[in-house]
Structure 1
């Protein structure tokens, strides 16, 4: 990589232009591109605006390359146990967001403020940038953990992945229903037109920016005008491969609560560890006490509100 081409404030028109100036091979697959951007993060911080890539800060010394030890997830066992239980007692399609909340990867406030990040920043007297950073890092981390656990359960033959579908919330109806073929077609058309209008390729490019609320407002307005729908979401269901395994996966109420509470505590601790390492690595001015506040507000379940007091962290590193 030609790191001399990296300067603070420099904008590359698109991914291809970035590769050209840095002497990188243009990759076709998404995973290969992700690996290249992961390597780029050792040398600088960057942001995206549509297809453009903006270099923010170039490090004096490249960060140490992290060696991965397989695909280990700290709380993998608990997630898998709870997922197997969930799909043993539920056979209806569910969104990943709902599933993440269902196994207590975060609490109800996370969903409540996901589309109102500036409001949360105002209420808690925290900088907007810190709230946006928290949601982006935590959501990517937790969603990736969930997806890897689901994929692993499918590969091991414990779950069968059902076909995903779109469910819609209709006005005057109290429960979501499956979208018709015509509704799916129009929903995709509306979504594509808005992505073009916002100059992005996927909704993920907007999700953690201040343009997200505007995007959702426009999307819901068009859904109401063209289909008289309140909203929609992508849902998927999984089934156990055999009845005997399904029956064995059902947890007692006591075991379920134990695993839910334990998983939530570990998630709180691991997220704080991630933020702590990020601050040490990048010398970012981000406040650890603010990140601790957001974890307690948005992640910790009712029984784990005092999780930090029970953790092994040196309290002086946060409040000292």
Structure 2
């Protein structure tokens, strides 16, 4: 940070111009806050709208303060960055005031997860084999991490909703095959009696369409989901993550739904967001941005992504500590069918790091094709 270009009573147009004078990078969220905190060691300033007014340049640089102890117990240090990233996401959609977007898409677009995450979530046993990690740890990972990242996302969305920047609702989207044309293919062949026979085969041409669920469709989906939970003897869908049966559950749901909705492909939960474009602009101005640059968007995503990875490991360490403490006076080893027994493994944290590197880290390679082509044998399926 170079303050040689600053002088007292100087008026600086905006944050971007300030960074140019200081010869430092335009930042977002918590990085920007740290940057401005660092500036306060050198100068006293105040703001008028987007302007920065330099009141005084200190002769002696103030001592740097360590505020990390005050952050102890904070649920997620990147929520502010996540809100900023969401504002940028809405801004780039333009002035249309409505957006319907799938949960997995928004998790990916904000940098909470990478493009491998949702794909591998549906193929956890294949992922376990591909990474050479026991399936119990993979189940434990998705059961813990999925609830964490979704809670982070929804907390940020609800914060924006509370400020009346957006209105937030949940909906269900169905993917359907919509019939476009029905043609008939005519073929002539000779039968066993040497007679000429014309065979007519119907050929359907369909488009893939995504539509918000109707009341009748919602009733069918809800009934089938409930019946399958009873048949699989679990109370909640989240319980299926712990047993690795989430894919089986949805495969069976789709099969049953198609009996009543023949054009049905699949469905997913989505956020239905109405946003106030002018309030988005005003909120970005509060953050100090009078425009939204691509490099700020990218930087914001990486800040969020690094924060998520740190939080995943921090939470995993706490879970392991609690599990180790539970077993510190137990004689005879792990109980048979012990719930969360994988947390007692000495390599539990290393395994979590490996999984995060593949399904969270934005720098990870695309492993979807490799996971898809992975074959699971009985021996691999029971690997410990």
| TM-score normalised to structure 2 length | 0.57
Q: Within 1, Cα distance between the matches of 2:129 and 2:364?
A: 26
CA RMSD of aligned residues (A): 2.6
Secondary structure of 2:99's partner?
A: coil
- How far 1:71 sits from its partner (Å)? 6.4
Given that 1:279 and 1:286 are in contact with CA atoms closer than 8 Å, whether structure 2 keeps it comes out as no
Q: Within 2, Cα distance between the matches of 1:124 and 1:95?
A: 27
Matching residue of 2:299: 258
Are 1:139 and 2:146 matched, yes or no?
yes
1:137-175 C-alpha deviation (Å, 9 max, x unpaired): 1112111111222222212333222x4322111134334
| Larger RCO, structures 1/2 (Cα 8 Å, 6+ apart) | 2
Q: Within 1, Cα distance between the matches of 2:137 and 2:236?
A: 23
Query: Which of the two has greater strand per residue?
Result: 2
Matching residue of 1:125: 132
Listed as ranges, the gaps of 5+ residues in structure 2 are 1-70, 178-205, 285-290, 325-343, 367-384
| TM-score normalised to structure 1 length | 0.67
- How far 1:92 sits from its partner (Å)? 2.2
1:47-91 C-alpha deviation (Å, 9 max, x unpaired): xxxxxxxxxxxxxxxxxxxxx978642111111101122233343
- How far 1:295 sits from its partner (Å)? 0.8
Matching residue of 1:113: 120
Listed as ranges, the gaps of 5+ residues in structure 1 are 1-67, 306-320
1:242-300 C-alpha deviation (Å, 9 max, x unpaired): x3222354722111011011211221122122222332332221512211111101100
Matching residue of 1:182: 216
Secondary structure of 1:94's partner?
A: strand
Classify 1:223/1:74 alpha carbon distance in 2 versus 1 (closer, same or farther; 3 Å): same
- How far 1:225 sits from its partner (Å)? 2.3
Matching residue of 1:230: 265
Given that 1:87 and 1:238 are in contact with CA atoms closer than 8 Å, whether structure 2 keeps it comes out as no
- Give the number of equivalent residue pairs: 237
Which residues of 2 match residues 241-252 of structure 1 at below 5 A? 241=276, 243-248=277-282, 249=284, 251-252=292-293
Q: 1:205 aligns with which of 233, 236, 239?
A: 239
Secondary structure of 2:207's partner?
A: coil
Q: Within 1, Cα distance between the matches of 2:249 and 2:162?
A: 36
Q: 1:195 aligns with which of 229, 247, 261?
A: 229
Given that 1:88 and 1:240 are in contact with CA atoms closer than 8 Å, whether structure 2 keeps it comes out as no
Given that 2:166 and 2:275 are in contact with CA atoms closer than 8 Å, whether structure 1 keeps it comes out as yes
Query: Which of the two has greater helix per residue?
Result: 1
Given that 2:107 and 2:113 are in contact with CA atoms closer than 8 Å, whether structure 1 keeps it comes out as yes
Larger Rg: 2
Matching residue of 1:267: 308
Q: Within 2, Cα distance between the matches of 1:151 and 1:208?
A: 28
Secondary structure of 1:296's partner?
A: helix
- How far 1:215 sits from its partner (Å)? 0.9
Classify 1:147/1:124 alpha carbon distance in 2 versus 1 (closer, same or farther; 3 Å): same
Q: Within 1, Cα distance between the matches of 2:269 and 2:105?
A: 11
Which residues of 2 match residues 1-320 of structure 1 at below 5 A? 72-90=75-93, 91-161=98-168, 163-171=169-177, 172-228=206-262, 229-241=264-276, 243-248=277-282, 249=284, 251-283=292-324, 284-287=344-347, 288-302=349-363
Q: Within 2, Cα distance between the matches of 1:160 and 1:225?
A: 36
